[in-house]
Structure 1
């Protein structure tokens, strides 16, 4: 390990932000404000160290690194000035590095700044942008949930700083839980998932929080029609960075100021992230998140009820996350050029409570996930090896209680543990990148163990053109109990696999190619296929009093092709064109049917135009074929026989007509189309102001959300209920 300080030669004053790099490699660090630096992971022996900073002459020194010891060094830089012509400096884009170095096909990265350029509903939203990427389907406007390559919406692993979040939605799925000001970037893996990721079938969404590199206190505040947000961050002594953020909706407060009516709903988000650089080159970090939705209403106040309990309804749900992570470079060990160890510990909780009338009927779902994740990484030449483990202690409760009953209607508790070990090995050759992995898994209480191989291979025909194939098996033991037929995703009840509910599995493969044009534009085409085994699907006719019939077991297949044309955020015009073709079906006891996310054709065009100056413009155009639904083909009138009058009547039934459904998901909604536009004025300065204005569904397209059938008319009528109408929205943010 090398430890030292960079100072000015004449005055011995510290030179902060100097770069210290091992010559001929990408191993390096940056000196803090006091000029001090620590560079770990260096092999023993003679090493050439390059130290430089703008305004000083670059110095190259030869030092001797001793195994198991610390070499100390003081670097004295000479001031230097030079008159330069205009130069343009641009770092290689993350996507370009992924193209050269990663064996994962189809991975898409989006930086936080890109979120602000996409037309929004209320405010920028990570999950709304994810819906616009290739291979992703949103079933309707009213949900920020998403389905990836034919999978169900609960089959996506969502990570915040590497920690899982089970239900990242607000307002019945209308908005995502991530505060946009805290997002540095996010990455979506819709296929070719490495062996280090498990517990979900379809995709991995990894959200990386910002790390404030500037000293002092900096922040941003924003106000939109939806919520107000405040985020603060800074760096202490160049070694500890911190960020905190909070968001709250205020529609309930706003309505109460203007009317005696109520809108008794709000949601809040709070997030914190701390990262400390240790003297030995390691890092220690902590991440915390709390999101909560609360609907607390008296229906009597609306004039709708005066029933027992005042007609009071309480509905709340939310996520809690606490996690710590430690990483430490270990230098040249176990035959490697460098090694690193990582350990994460976390607790993730999700809970939801629905109380109808002060306990008259109460539904409760609790899920707790205590997790440990450790990994050892070793690099040697062109080889990279990851060996790791993951353990989860799961605790779930699903209870239904009624005040009129001394005993619970339903009480289900599960306490399984899931354990995984994996190895992932990558070899980067002159024209190939090969990654081979294996993941072994088991879940207590199921009698289930599994080996899940993962493989990807990339071949570079030219430095700018590559072809990739990938295949692998994924598994999932935490299904969400929901009615996929329902057009709105109100909430999820999470369960775990047991003797009645099997562990789901899927084999998936893909093949495609990618062509780059320069350093900021590329085209990607990929075909894929997935085959599902033992896939739990919600039983639409389950009996609440019977334990074990919540799911029916299905199998299925999905296949399709994705196209992505992307211009990275460097030019006046940036954005992407994403097109997906997909076919999905499920096979159950009642035959074959299409899942509700089976949208055959889906096209999204997202672009941002910055002509110069303070104005920027964004446009999103979406077109998609209709998703399937179960049509109503008739109506049944329930009648009772009256022996006194010797006649049939409907009696005192509240609903005398019962709809009769046709073939499950045998009909389809019409074509979906929508255009959103936005304009932003950014005025930089000591404080940067950025007001924006957006229009959702700019030409007021009447996209069908669902149908209402009325068989009391003759002939029967069908009325369409539309999705989002023309919606203007505005907001402003200020950063300093």
Structure 2
């Protein structure tokens, strides 16, 4: 609608030879800013201000003018004006008008494949993101793998933990999955960093109780890593006194392809004295690559992961004068190399529904020199699978061929050879439903088969009931059976196991090692106590069979004789209390554990702590600073006396730690001794600068004082004529880590 107004100007209080007034919106009377006011046939132009007022100079007294008002979103208006010799007031109303926009198409640079449906009711599921890890007072860093190491269900030897011992299980009983691709590669020696570069992983989901039926071949847990993508141009990395890590990500073209690369390399030796060249080969290196591209119906992701680790140290302690003629170059050596290549195709078929197909190939090699004994192991795996996952339904299949070889040699004679090459086929399906609103039930079955062991069934069942009108409290109960076809010849009861990152996988064969089995019954209580506090209690009972008990086959770090198989029983409970506030965070974890292994008449406890306690406090100061205090305690850890001495000294901030000796246990059943109680306090200071678009700090520095009170915690005891001599864990240390994140 065009509203026309004819006005004859009169002299008013305004600049001479000018037109002025207010432009309002018709119907509301509000002033319209940014209206273009001009005279047809003349160059003079004015714009209305924020209140709709305008002033237009003309220098054309006594003439009839066509005054034009224009603005997007309003119909244009023309007003005939007779200009006087002075100023004139012309107020107008503009009628709103619809705008015909050009069709707009939004094409994202990257469309991530939909993640597996997240079921918050699943029993025994633990999830952690990088943001949550940075806020966790027990972690304080954007490293989900470090956060996983501090979870309530994970045991180990405190600060020395190369592998996760979940709910009384051994380190080889965990399956690490990168977007569904199995990673059996090595871990850095001494647990100084996580199993993968921290920049390569954005989140982790761990299934410890009743895992989804699509997961198999691990007795204790399934660690599902969500990989990083190159959705934007970014550069992220970190550096500490031991290693440097760098990652880059970038979109490729305009069709949604992305590339992400990450690498990590140690630049200083971790332990042991350098050789005559003042150099040491001890350390680790890892590389990760992820290429994602659109595909018909969805996306296709290509992955590569490679690792190379080494730890070498003198086989004897510092030589005395009487040993001057003895060779000083004899070293114990552990090496490990691994690689994984795989492709995953994802097709989203609806909300929370997807179809995936994947294929992979991996290689893992390990070797060791331990005095006169050498060991070499090799694993090759090729596999493929497909699955459908939805909100309540899951079904699929997988097929893999695993080849392992393990060979031990003493001087020139062969001591032990174990080879296996099983072909494993599996099919699975599960269904969930809600019989009533507060009650959820899930049932599933996984069937796996080999030519040697036939068909093995794995039933899985869990149920959860929410209590109260708002469901603030829930109770859950679950049962799961899982089989494992690949175990390890690594002796996790050896004191050296706390340091080495190499593994010695052995697959089930028709000779000595059969598939291991775990039957687990678990219960869980979740509760919200007020607006911020959460409490979770877990109890479990596990029955294990077919276990390769390497501790009964050797006194050293790996098996040098036929490995007996046996049974195991585990029972325990964990409790976790969290209280996140605006400036203050609290996390409290406690656990009890009883874990035993049995082979014939021999029954022995594992080396896990019987009681554990962890408490983290974090306080956020002004200027993006955080003070963090972590407290850890453990009791009831069992040990076996060593018949050979051992030296272990921490590296401090910039120095090189010392490790030497060839510790082996005395004869007899393992873990008949008990270590003193363990306690440690860490104090950390974190400072951040700037925020990126994703909300992550652009630069972060973290200074941590480990073992703040310099407590002497024991790792082991050495048998001596004057009584057991302790081998201590780290004394007080100082560490500094700098992390950066730059993105466009």
Fold conserved between structures, TM > 0.5? yes
Separation of aligned partners in 1, 2:369 and 2:504 = 15
Residues 539 and 667 of structure 1, relative CA distance in 2, 3 Å threshold? closer
CA shift digits 1:635-654 (9 cap, x unpaired): xxxxxxxxxxxxxxxxxxxx
Separation of aligned partners in 2, 1:600 and 1:129 = 22
Alignment of 1:455-470 (within 5 A): 455-462=461-468, 463-470=471-478
CA shift digits 1:192-249 (9 cap, x unpaired): 22222110111111121222433xx211132111111110112332622321111111
Q: How far 1:527 sits from its partner (Å)?
A: 1.4
Residue equivalent to 2:506:
495
Residues 556 and 354 of structure 1, relative CA distance in 2, 3 Å threshold? closer
Residue equivalent to 2:336:
317
Residues 172 and 396 of structure 1, relative CA distance in 2, 3 Å threshold? farther
Match of 1:328 among 347, 363, 366: 347
Structure 2 regions of 5+ residues with no counterpart? 1-97, 645-660
CA shift digits 1:504-532 (9 cap, x unpaired): 11111111211135776421112111111
CA shift digits 1:125-174 (9 cap, x unpaired): 64443232122211343223221111122111112222222244111544
Match of 2:731 among 725, 730, 733: 725
CA shift digits 1:487-510 (9 cap, x unpaired): 121332110111221211111111
Residue equivalent to 1:526:
538
Within the alignment, does 1:164 sit opposite 2:177 as a pair? no
Alignment of 1:198-597 (within 5 A): 198-214=216-232, 217-236=233-252, 237=254, 239-252=256-269, 261-278=278-295, 280=297, 282-294=298-310, 315-330=334-349, 340-354=354-368, 362-378=374-390, 384-400=392-408, 405=412, 410-428=416-434, 430-444=437-451, 446-462=452-468, 463-489=471-497, 490=500, 491-499=502-510, 500-517=512-529, 521-538=533-550, 540-541=552-553, 550-567=562-579, 571-574=582-585, 576-597=587-608
Residues 399 and 552 of structure 1, relative CA distance in 2, 3 Å threshold? closer
RMSD across aligned positions (CA)? 4.0
Separation of aligned partners in 2, 1:202 and 1:258 = 41
Structure 1 regions of 5+ residues with no counterpart? 1-7, 17-30, 41-93, 332-336, 635-654
Separation of aligned partners in 2, 1:513 and 1:312 = 51
Residues 518 and 274 of structure 1, relative CA distance in 2, 3 Å threshold? farther
Residues 263 and 37 of structure 1, relative CA distance in 2, 3 Å threshold? closer
Within the alignment, does 1:130 sit opposite 2:144 as a pair? no
Residue equivalent to 1:63:
none
Q: Is contact 2:167-2:570 (8 Å) kept?
A: yes
SS in 2 for 1:495: strand
Q: How far 1:476 sits from its partner (Å)?
A: 0.9
Residues 575 and 388 of structure 1, relative CA distance in 2, 3 Å threshold? farther
TM-score (norm 2): 0.74
Residue equivalent to 2:66:
none
Separation of aligned partners in 1, 2:400 and 2:553 = 32
Q: How far 1:343 sits from its partner (Å)?
A: 0.6
Match of 2:698 among 688, 696, 699: 688
Residue equivalent to 2:62:
none
Separation of aligned partners in 2, 1:122 and 1:468 = 31
Q: Is contact 1:222-1:733 (8 Å) kept?
A: yes
Q: Is contact 1:168-1:178 (8 Å) kept?
A: no
Q: Is contact 1:106-1:191 (8 Å) kept?
A: yes
Q: Is contact 2:415-2:560 (8 Å) kept?
A: no
Q: How far 1:389 sits from its partner (Å)?
A: 0.9
Separation of aligned partners in 2, 1:582 and 1:279 = 50
Match of 2:102 among 4, 9, 12: 12
Separation of aligned partners in 2, 1:197 and 1:523 = 28
Residues 551 and 218 of structure 1, relative CA distance in 2, 3 Å threshold? same
Residues 203 and 252 of structure 1, relative CA distance in 2, 3 Å threshold? closer
Match of 1:704 among 701, 714, 718: 714
Residues 520 and 672 of structure 1, relative CA distance in 2, 3 Å threshold? same
Q: How far 1:438 sits from its partner (Å)?
A: 0.4
Separation of aligned partners in 1, 2:527 and 2:479 = 21
Separation of aligned partners in 1, 2:489 and 2:346 = 37
Separation of aligned partners in 2, 1:314 and 1:588 = 31
Q: Is contact 2:548-2:565 (8 Å) kept?
A: yes
Q: How far 1:722 sits from its partner (Å)?
A: 1.1
Alignment of 1:175-190 (within 5 A): 175-190=193-208
* Greater C-alpha Rg: 2
SS in 2 for 1:146: strand
Q: Is contact 1:501-1:548 (8 Å) kept?
A: no
Separation of aligned partners in 2, 1:587 and 1:377 = 39
Separation of aligned partners in 2, 1:420 and 1:138 = 32
Match of 1:621 among 599, 624, 631: 631
SS in 1 for 2:521: strand
Q: Is contact 1:103-1:435 (8 Å) kept?
A: no
Residues 613 and 238 of structure 1, relative CA distance in 2, 3 Å threshold? farther
SS in 2 for 1:138: strand
Work out the number of aligned pairs and report it: 611
SS in 1 for 2:171: coil
Separation of aligned partners in 1, 2:631 and 2:121 = 31
TM-score (norm 1): 0.74
Q: Could you tell which deviates more after superposition, 361-370 or 672-681?
A: 361-370
Q: Is contact 2:475-2:524 (8 Å) kept?
A: yes
Separation of aligned partners in 1, 2:345 and 2:296 = 13
Separation of aligned partners in 1, 2:541 and 2:112 = 47
Separation of aligned partners in 2, 1:306 and 1:229 = 43
Residue equivalent to 1:23:
none
Residue equivalent to 1:71:
none
Separation of aligned partners in 1, 2:488 and 2:157 = 17
Match of 1:610 among 620, 627, 641: 620
Residues 257 and 436 of structure 1, relative CA distance in 2, 3 Å threshold? closer
Q: Is contact 1:167-1:319 (8 Å) kept?
A: yes
Separation of aligned partners in 2, 1:447 and 1:377 = 29
Separation of aligned partners in 2, 1:449 and 1:480 = 23
Separation of aligned partners in 2, 1:258 and 1:311 = 11
Separation of aligned partners in 1, 2:484 and 2:546 = 10
